[in-house]
Amino acid sequence: MTSLLLDHPGIDIFNFRIYYYAICIVTGIIVATSLSALLMKRRNMSPDFIFTLFIFCIPAALICTRLFYCITDGMPISRWFSWESIREGGLSIVGGALGGVGMGFIVCKVKKVSFLRAADCVVITILIAQAIGRWGNFFNEEVYGHAVSSPSMEWFPFAVPVSKLYPDNGVAAFSDPNATWHYAFFFYESVVNATGFAILYTLAWKWANKPNGLFVCAYFVWYGLVRSVMEPLRDAGYILQGGGVPWSLVFSILMIVGGLAGIGVLLYFNYRKEGAALGSKNGDPCGITDFIPAYKGEQPYFSKINMLGGNYPPMPEEETFRYKWERFTAKVKGWFAKDKTDEKPTEPTEQPTENEQPAEPTEQPKREQTEDEEKK
């Protein structure tokens, strides 16, 4: 495995190279999607709804990730989506987050689902996707800080080697004695984002008594703070500043301001409606009581994961995964058994030996005559 990482910056399949950077991005998306589905089930929503969001939001996020980078980097329009330019890289997570959330709002409006309630289950998992995706920068040897000033600080993960011999292979850079060591800002951001995800996800898992949308705003505050601190400290070559404006820093500050303003607005309106900033004094203190289905006619059933699982009946046996799996395996076994029966030659019937005589038929008991028969 180590040899593979040293020889290539990706995996070659039928002469097509899949870069480790792309593998990190896709892995982050899959992990975030799975955790979002689990949180939806926890917060009284159908986990199947995540697939609807996945179909629309992921492409929108990827397109906006590219657009934000191209626009803020001052790239000519003719190169925005050219194959050669895309293969060279160039993405901005800020654009992806804004594009994905925007498309999620449209999908929820069309499906008539509470956007803030659904977004609370999805947006905070973007942090873990970003934490995993940042490791793609390690493989590409990018998004690092200035060179370290002392040899005693040349150790990973505090710093990362950048090699001219292996400009697109972060693992191979360790084998270059002339590599220059830089502060590993991709690693710092990955750890901080993973920490933020752990905090927000834990709160979302345990805390029902809150206004919907609070975790969405908390995400923008957290990520905005992270980027506003990290962005100015990066190497100048990795700061998006088309037209002389540090766009990522500007949008990071806007995220903080917008997130804090959103929290204030949510608490204010919740107080006006429910009589308390958090929860409710007038009615239902839980913001997740109504079950949100993914399709028409979907019924909720008892679940230990669901906060309100005790309110629902148990799932019918024929709808459980175990029942469907047992039926499937039984059907497969039946197919194999049938094949073996068809292949087995028929055995000749045994003929009785000379000493063996066929059994004589037993006499049937005589039927007693009825009175009418006697008269005849």
pLDDT in tens, 178-223: 889 999 988 999 999 999 999 999 999 998 888 889 999 999 999 9
Burial class (CB in 10 A: 0-12, 13-18, 19+), 65: buried
Does a structural domain hold residue 288?
yes
The predicted model gives 340-356 an average pLDDT of: 57
Is residue 105 exposed (0-12), middle (13-18) or buried (19+ Cβ within 10 Å)?
A: middle
Percentage of residues in the chain having pLDDT higher than 70: 81
Residue 272 is inside which H or E element, if any?
helix 247-274
* Number of CB atoms found within 10 A of residue 101's CB: 21
Is 218 a member of any domain?
yes
pLDDT band at 81 (very low <50, low <70, confident <90, very high): confident
Q: What is the pLDDT of residue 8?
A: 61
Residue 48: inside a domain: yes
Nearest to 137 by CA among 99, 176, 193, 177: 193
Give the pLDDT of residue 77: 77
User: What pLDDT is attached to residue 306?
Assistant: 92
pLDDT for 199: 96
Q: Is 147 helix (H, G, I), strand (E, B) or coil?
A: strand
Q: Has residue 362 been placed in a domain?
A: no
Residue 346 lies in a domain: no
Which of 12-26, 94-108, 347-361 reaches the highest mean pLDDT?
Answer: 94-108
Least confident of 2-11, 157-166, 254-263, 322-331: 2-11
The answer, yes or no, to whether the previous bond of 157 is cis (omega within 30 of 0) is: yes
- Closest to 130 in 3D by CA, of 24, 202, 45: 24
Residue 341 within a domain: no
In whole angstroms, what is the distance from residue 31 CA to residue 54 CA?
12
Q: How many CB atoms lie within 10 A of CB 98?
A: 20
Averaged pLDDT, 89-114: 84
In a domain, 258, yes or no: yes
Compute the average pLDDT of residues 105-132. 92
Residue whose C-alpha is closest to residue 142's, from 162, 166, 164: 162
pLDDT at position 356: 53
Residue 318, pLDDT score: 80
Domain count, the chain: 1
Q: What is the distance between the alpha carbons of residues 137 and 284, in angstroms, rounded to a whole number?
A: 46
Mean pLDDT of the chain: 81
For 10, phi then psi, to 5°, come to -170, -170
Which domain, by its residues, includes 220? 11-145+184-298
Within a domain: 366: no
What is the reported pLDDT for 188?
A: 92
Mean pLDDT, residues 36-46: 93
Supply the DSSP string of 165-186, one letter for each residue: SSTT-TTGGGG-TTPEEEE-HH
CB atoms near residue 281 (< 10 Å): 9
Distances (CA, A) of 315 to 297, 302, 320: 15, 7, 7
pLDDT at 348 over 60: no
Helix (H) or strand (E) holding 160: strand 159-162
Please indicate whether residue 28 or residue 366 has the higher confidence score (pLDDT). Answer: 28
pLDDT tens string 52-63: 898 898 889 888
Helix 20-42, helix 185-206: angle, nearest 10: 10
Tokens 């972060």, residue located = 170
